[in-house]
Amino acid sequence: MRPSVDLNGVGIWKDLLSRVEQEQIVNDLRSVAKAAPFQQYETGRGHKMSVRMTGAGDVAWVSDRRGYRYEPVQKSGVDWPKIPDTVLNVWNAVSGIDRTPDSCLVNYYGQGACMGLHQDKDEADLKWPVVSISLGDDALFRVGQVTRGGPTQSVWLRSGDVAVLRKEARLAYHGIDRIKFGTSSLLPDGGRINVTLRVAG
Ligand code: MD6
Ligand code: FE
């Protein structure tokens, strides 16, 4: 199976997940968010991020005034919940590797939320891919080069699309310019959820 769109080396499987599969994942993410509530993190510079985040797995990504890092427990000291099998199934379908991910980041975009261009490079070994699932409202995904400032390409990610950063594109700059609030009926209150899976530790 191969991605249907290539954006500067980032593979995108449009429409990979059926509506029922998307609903099952959202259902499982409700349990994740019950065990590990969404947080609005601060960047190292003290700016609040517009996206709300939580996580699952052995470690999950957090950000505060001390910077970005993977943490084995939530701020409360409680372990992160397990990564749901429905989410692991997506990794198994597209990652192309035998290893299982140890970290799952869950991002919620409400009205007006966006994510600036960034690289995913906090993982211990950057040879493993990152798999990203889009659920809910449409989002304008921008992908640049592995160095800052090069030409970028954009695509609208829709609910059920899956993107993979691997090989030469593993360190490509990428971000979400904006979402089109209310374009999907998947989440009852609108907005978008993005789930990323990684081998972090
Ligand atoms: C998002 N995605 O889709 C933001 N990171 O909301 C990411 O930051 C991302 O799509 C690593 C790999 C794939 C991604
Ligand atoms: Fe990212």
Q: How many angstroms separate the CA atoms of 38 and 62, rounded?
A: 11
Chain segment 77-122, per-residue pLDDT in tens: 999 999 999 999 999 999 999 999 999 999 999 999 999 999 999 9
Q: Domain spans of the chain?
A: 5-37+86-198
Chain segment 60-80, per-residue pLDDT in tens: 999 999 999 999 999 999 999
Has residue 163 got a pLDDT over 80? yes
Neighbour tally for 79: CB within 10 Å: 15
How far is the centre of ligand 2, averaged over its atoms, from the C-alpha of 12 (Å)? 14
For residue 174 and ligand 1, the question of a CB distance below 6 A is answered with yes
pTM exceeds 0.95 for this model: yes
Please give the full DSSP string across 94-113, using - where no structure is assigned: HS-SSSPPSEEEEEEE-TT-
Strand order, beta sheet including 10-13: 5-7, 10-13, 162-165, 130-136, 192-198, 103-109, 52-57
Is the CB of 95 within 6 Å of ligand 1?
Answer: no
User: What is the C-alpha to C-alpha distance for residues 156 and 159, in angstroms, rounded to an integer?
Assistant: 10
CATH 1.20.1260.10 at 5-37+86-198, yes or no: no
Q: Which ligand is nearest to the CA of 194?
A: 1
Cβ–ligand 1 distance for 51 under 6 Å, the answer no
Distance, in Å, from the CA atom of 97 to the CA atom of 76, rounded to the nearest integer, reads: 33
Distance in Å, CA 188 to ligand 1 centroid: 23
